[in-house]
Chain A
Amino acid sequence: MLENFTPVAGLVGGALMGLSALGLLAYNRQVCGISGMVEGCLPPFAADIDWRAFFLFGLIVGGLMISVHYPQAFQFELSQTLWTLFLGGFLVGLGSRLAHGCTTGHGLCGAGRLSRSSLIITGIFLATAIATATLIGYLGGRS
Chain B
Amino acid sequence: MKPTTSAFLMGVVFAWGLAIAELTRPPKVLGFLNLAGNWDPTVLVALVTAALVYYLGYTYIIPKSTRTALAAKLVGKEALTPLVIGGAVLFGLGWGLIGLCPGAAITDLLSLRYDVGIFVVGMVLGVYSAKAYIGVKPR
Q: Could you tell me which A residues sit within 8 Å of B by CB distance?
A: 1-7, 9-32, 34-35, 38-39, 42, 50-52, 54-67, 70, 72-78, 80, 82, 84-100, 102-104, 107-109, 111-117, 120-121, 124-134, 136-138, 142-143
Contacts and interface: CB of A to CB of B under 8 A. Distances in A.
A24 to B, nearest CB: 5
Contacts of A96: 87, 91, 102, 126-127, 130
Contact of B98 (A14, A88, A115, A128): A88
Given A10-B42, A88-B119, A143-B38, A74 B111 contact: yes
B93 A128 contact: yes
Contacts of B45: 7, 10-11, 14
B11 A130 contact: no
Contacts, number: 480
Chain B interface extent, by class: 35 or more
Contacts of A66: 15-16, 19-20
B24 to A, nearest CB: 5
Chain B interface SS verdict (over half): helix
Contact of B107 (A12, A29, A59): A59
Interface of B: 1, 3-28, 30-31, 33-55, 57-58, 61-62, 66, 69-70, 73-74, 77-80, 83-103, 105-111, 115-116, 118-131, 134
8 contacts: A4-B28, A26-B57, A54-B4, A78-B115, A90-B123, A102-B103, A112-B50, A138-B36
Contact of B54 (A92, A98, A108, A137): A108
A91 B119 CA distance: 10
